[in-house]
Amino acid sequence: MNTIDLVRMLIRDARSELSADPRISADADAELAACQRRLDEPLQVALAGTLKSGKSTLLNALVGEEIAPTDATECTRVVTWFSRSVTPRVDLTHDGGQHTALPVHRTGGRLRLNLGPVTAERVERLEVGWPSSLLDQYTLIDTPGTSSNSSDVSARTLDFLTPDEGSCQADAIVYLMRSLHSADVALLRSLHEHAGTGRGALGIVGVVSRADETDGGRSASLDAARQVSAQLRTDRQLAGLHRDFIPVSGLLALRGRTLRQREFAALARLAALHPDEREAALVSPGRLMAADLVIAAPDREQLIAAFGMVGIRIAISLIRAGAKDAPALAAELVRHSGLEQLRATLSTRFGSRNRQLKVHSALRTLRSILLRHRSPHTVRVFRSVDRLLADNHCFTELRLLAGLAALPVPEPTRTALDHVLGGRGISATTRLGLPPDTSPNHTRAVALRAIRYWHDQLGEPLLDQPTTRTYQAAIRSCEAILAS
């Protein structure tokens, strides 16, 4: 029986055992039913990070529409679910389970969320349903940024990501930061500890966000953000924590995905100016508004609001480098933004492990339900859940992959471990670095050689514990290839 069926069976067993126990409330069954349903729903991916790290903008860029609020309204203060739906809808749950359908208002292409008289404190769940191919794959969860001077908002986010009781509802997390601060180290540590104790999401993808701003927008490229990302790989503060961060500019990606002809025309006019005239106009938003140009004032305002001065500069340099029309500029903006790399990483890290991440969430949710609704009838189910959480090799791989960047091994060994543990995809050929059409016989032969290789590595003197565990896991991963 595969693990997902095993988990379904355990949930069924738990439901029948608990419903036979008269001391257990009906809530337990509703929670178990929800846990069961989640196994058939898209993966739940939360965007997390400190205040204004660019979470909502990145969410919009991924979806390709402005549905997550980025202005300072009540809505940016609550955890919001964005899930697939045939027609747009906004559902609010508040004040002890009351449901209200909120109106779907769009102005200038943006969804305007308005909680009406309900304050953020009274919100239990805010869910936006939207037709989108990305949301068919993932349910995205926008979390309010954590900060030291908004303790109630931070508390809501932390309660969602790293709850004191129960388990985090997200299956995976995209963690955004502009540069490394102590608040990021603390939040990443807490996320890892939760994952380590079986209460938090195992999958984490890191992002150096707002990457166009990294060097004050001087170079009109994301090189500075790439350097930050490379430095993070060896940063001591992140010892034992996630260190792989992809540079992404959510804003450029969003502008690319929603570019209008009018915006392109205004940018093209700026690109065609004499360099001296252009530089003078781009000194500040005020200068751009005041400059003597054949671009209507509302169009200039729109450019400044949508792109920012850094974004305008980058768009101009892309036009000057050859993006001749709106579709070409849109494509260049997206390419330049790093969004494609992020999407590819989400797909290898989360998409291909979709089932494993969901099974992990289901097991930890089941565990926390059984702990909250204790019954002598469910001891057997509880033990099985614990065994599965501890022994499942896929979960071990995910935990080790998260710590790989911190392992004291040479770079080629780290890359080989990343492959073999499934960090680049979980097919046998990807794990062994072989072309996809390699014959099964040759794949087995290479897997056998890999087992011998990792055994030899284990023989190295003075290996530390984490490296030993990782080599042992690599051997198990190769054995699993042989067994399949």
Chain residues in the site for Mg ion (CB under 5 A): 55-56, 76
Min separation Cβ 59 and ligand GTP, Å: 8
In which residue are the tokens 């530390």 written? 464
Min separation Cβ 195 and ligand GTP, Å: 22
Min separation Cβ 344 and ligand GTP, Å: 18
The Cα–Cα gap between 58 and 64 comes to 9
Residue 367 interacts with which of Mg ion, ligand GTP, none, CB < 5 to 8 Å by class: none
Min separation Cβ 56 and Mg ion, Å: 3
Buried/exposed 386-408: b ≥16 CB within 10 Å, e otherwise: eebbeebebbbbbbbbbbbbbbe
Residue 31 interacts with which of Mg ion, ligand GTP, none, CB < 5 to 8 Å by class: none
* Chain centroid to CA 12: 30
Min separation Cβ 55 and Mg ion, Å: 5
Min separation Cβ 53 and Mg ion, Å: 9
Record the tokens describing residue 345, joined without a space.
């990483």
Residues linked to residue 111 through DSSP beta bridges, in sequence order: 106
Residue 154 interacts with which of Mg ion, ligand GTP, none, CB < 5 to 8 Å by class: none
Residue 212 interacts with which of Mg ion, ligand GTP, none, CB < 5 to 8 Å by class: ligand GTP
Min separation Cβ 213 and Mg ion, Å: 17
Measured from the CB atom, the residue of 36 and 249 that comes closer to ligand GTP is 249
Residue 70 φ/ψ, nearest 5 degrees: -120, 0
Residues in touch with ligand GTP (CB under 6 A) = 49, 51-57, 70, 76, 144-145, 210, 212-213, 249-251, 308, 310
Residue 213 interacts with which of ligand GTP, Mg ion, none, CB < 5 to 8 Å by class: ligand GTP
Record the tokens describing residue 71, joined without a space.
């202005």
Residues linked to residue 141 through DSSP beta bridges, in sequence order: 46, 81
Measured from the CB atom, the residue of 21 and 215 that comes closer to ligand GTP is 215
Amino acid at 181: H
Residue 52 interacts with which of ligand GTP, Mg ion, none, CB < 5 to 8 Å by class: ligand GTP
The Cα–Cα gap between 101 and 89 comes to 7
Amino acid at 370: L
Nearest residue to the partner Mg ion, using Cβ: 56
Min separation Cβ 69 and ligand GTP, Å: 8
Residues linked to residue 49 through DSSP beta bridges, in sequence order: 176
Nearest residue to the partner ligand GTP, using Cβ: 145
Min separation Cβ 249 and ligand GTP, Å: 4
Min separation Cβ 337 and ligand GTP, Å: 8
Residue 44 interacts with which of Mg ion, ligand GTP, none, CB < 5 to 8 Å by class: none
The residue among 365, 379, 363, 373 whose CA lies nearest residue 9 is 363
Measured from the CB atom, the residue of 245 and 454 that comes closer to ligand GTP is 245
Measured from the CB atom, the residue of 198 and 308 that comes closer to ligand GTP is 308
Measured from the CB atom, the residue of 55 and 192 that comes closer to ligand GTP is 55
Min separation Cβ 51 and Mg ion, Å: 9
Record the tokens describing residue 343, joined without a space.
């999407």
Min separation Cβ 77 and ligand GTP, Å: 8
Q: For residue 116, give every residue at least 6 positions away whose Cβ sits within 8 Å of its Cβ, in sequence order, or none.
A: 100, 102
Angle, nearest 10°, between helix axes 250-257 and 297-320?
A: 100
